[in-house]
Amino acid sequence: MSSTGIANRLLIVAMALLLGGCQGAWFVSLNAARAPADVELRGDLEFDSAHGLSLDVYRPLRAAHAPVVVFFYGGDWTHGERAWYRFVGRALAAQGLVAVIPDYRKFPDVAPDGFMSDAARAVAWTRAHAAEFGGDADDLFVMGHSAGGHIAALLATDPAWLAAAGLVPRDLAGCIGLAGVYLFLPEDSDDDDMLAVFGDDEPVQESAMPLGFVRGAEPPMLLLHGLDDDEVDPANSRLLAEALRAHGDEAELRLYPDVDHSALLFALSPSRHARAPVLDDLLAFVRAHPHAANAGATPTPPAGSPGPNAAAP
């Protein structure tokens, strides 16, 4: 590697560490609230011993055949850690869902195929172990914010990633994207972080673009975006929803006025629910979409009503 390349990589690492420290302090306030009494945390569960990767599971104490949500956090694919997102796990578990938050390797330690493989392994581990936490392996959703939304959506659209773990996208009951990155092209991108991760070669970028893989075999998707988002253009969610519908897939789009990139995620925190009905909308989606394996036994409830697999909150 050239000296310029080494310097660039060191700069990215330094920036990630600096930003990570600031963000870590910020997330302390979001996680400061007392955990709900009926939510249990099973932390530091290793799902990939080869790479030393672990995850946290948040479960309702009385969970039985509950829907399961694997949440991938954001951070420009370069930084972040699962401990920052306790407020997400607690919020979902308090409403009767089993929430799984895995770590994944970051750029520049790995290229995109590295963190995508990590994500697929986390989903496969969750499916194999869901029953141990009161979850239903057939009611498994993927969810993510920002870069994590990209990861979740790519798992749901490009079958190659889940295939390596013995699964297909339709094994998922659904995908929930919060301000995800679904479309990017070299000529349109002025985001240095994105270009550092995915490069400026169009075929390489297209190979990591969820929008380009839509073909009519995707699970139902819920796409949430704040209209004041100046980090990830809401057009990402609009265009993905349009592509899914054009191919006969089910896609729900929720756009929130006066909500920016971070506020969309922070609306899951108890102190910020009023900013946008993010939690209500994703709960309605999960409860209205039991996996096809279960849907035959009980009619799908209307949006907003408790589903047959939802544990009591």
Cα-based torsion angle of the residue sequence 291, 295, 297, 300 in order, rounded to the nearest 10 degrees: 130
Q: Are the C-beta atoms of residues 284 and 269 closer than 8 Å to each other?
A: no
Mean model confidence pLDDT for the chain: 84
Work out the pLDDT band at 103, boundaries 50, 70, 90: very high
In a domain, 313, yes or no: no
Higher-confidence residue of 295 and 158: namely 158
Higher-confidence residue of 62 and 159: namely 159
Work out the pLDDT band at 217, boundaries 50, 70, 90: very high
Instruction: Choose the weakest-confidence range: 29-43, 99-113, 168-182, 191-205.
Output: 191-205
- Predicted confidence at residue 55, as pLDDT, reads 98
Q: What average pLDDT does range 130-155 have in this prediction?
A: 97
Would you say residue 6 has pLDDT above 70? no
According to DSSP, residue 147 is labeled H
In a domain, 215, yes or no: yes
- Predicted confidence at residue 202, as pLDDT, reads 75
Would you say residue 257 has pLDDT above 50? yes
Work out the pLDDT band at 185, boundaries 50, 70, 90: low
Instruction: Choose the weakest-confidence range: 67-81, 183-197, 207-221.
Output: 183-197
Each residue's pLDDT tens digit, 296-312 = 333 333 333 333 233 32
d(CA 165, CA 188): 33
- Predicted confidence at residue 291, as pLDDT, reads 73
Q: Which residues pair with 224 in a beta bridge?
A: 178, 254
Distance of CA 123 to the CA centre of its chain: 11
Domain hosting 63: range is 3-295
Question: How many structural domains compose the chain?
Answer: 1
Distances (CA, A) of 118 to 48, 80, 100: 8, 15, 14
What six digits make up the tokens of 241? 């929803």
- Predicted confidence at residue 102, as pLDDT, reads 98
Would you say residue 182 has pLDDT above 90? yes
Q: Which amino acid is at 185?
A: L
> Which residue bears the tokens 């990402």?
236
In a domain, 304, yes or no: no
According to DSSP, residue 160 is labeled H
- Predicted confidence at residue 29, as pLDDT, reads 61
Q: Which amino acid is at 253?
A: L
The 3-class secondary structure across 161-176, one letter per residue, is HHHCCCCCHHHCCEEE
- Predicted confidence at residue 274, as pLDDT, reads 66
Q: What average pLDDT does range 184-212 have in this prediction?
A: 75
Q: What average pLDDT does range 214-230 have in this prediction?
A: 97
Give the percent of the chain with pLDDT over 70: 80
H helices of the chain, in order, are: 3-30, 86-93, 112-129, 147-157, 159-163, 192-198, 202-206, 235-246, 261-266, 278-288, 292-295
For residue 35, the tally of other CB atoms under 10 A from its CB is 16
d(CA 282, CA 276): 11
Q: How many CA atoms lie within 13 A of 52 on its CB side?
A: 0
In a domain, 290, yes or no: yes
Work out the pLDDT band at 207, boundaries 50, 70, 90: confident
Work out the pLDDT band at 24, boundaries 50, 70, 90: low
Instruction: Choose the weakest-confidence range: 81-85, 102-106, 301-305.
Output: 301-305
Q: Please give the order of strands across the beta sheet that includes 53-60.
A: 39-48, 53-60, 98-102, 66-72, 135-145, 174-178, 221-226, 251-256
- Predicted confidence at residue 199, as pLDDT, reads 79
In a domain, 14, yes or no: yes
Burial (CB count within 10 angstroms: exposed 0-12, middle 13-18, buried 19+), residue 24: middle
Work out the pLDDT band at 191, boundaries 50, 70, 90: low
Report the DSSP pairing between strands 53-60 and 98-102. Answer: antiparallel
In a domain, 311, yes or no: no
In a domain, 62, yes or no: yes
Would you say residue 187 has pLDDT above 60? no
Query: For residue 21, what is the domain's CATH number?
Result: 3.40.50.1820
Q: What average pLDDT does range 231-236 have in this prediction?
A: 95
Q: What average pLDDT does range 249-276 have in this prediction?
A: 91
Buried b (16+ CB within 10 A) or exposed e, 277-312: ebbebbbbbbbbbbbeebeeeeeebeeeeebbbbbe
Burial (CB count within 10 angstroms: exposed 0-12, middle 13-18, buried 19+), residue 170: middle
In a domain, 100, yes or no: yes
Q: What average pLDDT does range 251-271 have in this prediction?
A: 94
Buried b (16+ CB within 10 A) or exposed e, 206-218: bbbbbbbbbeeeb
Q: Full-prediction pTM beyond 0.75?
A: yes
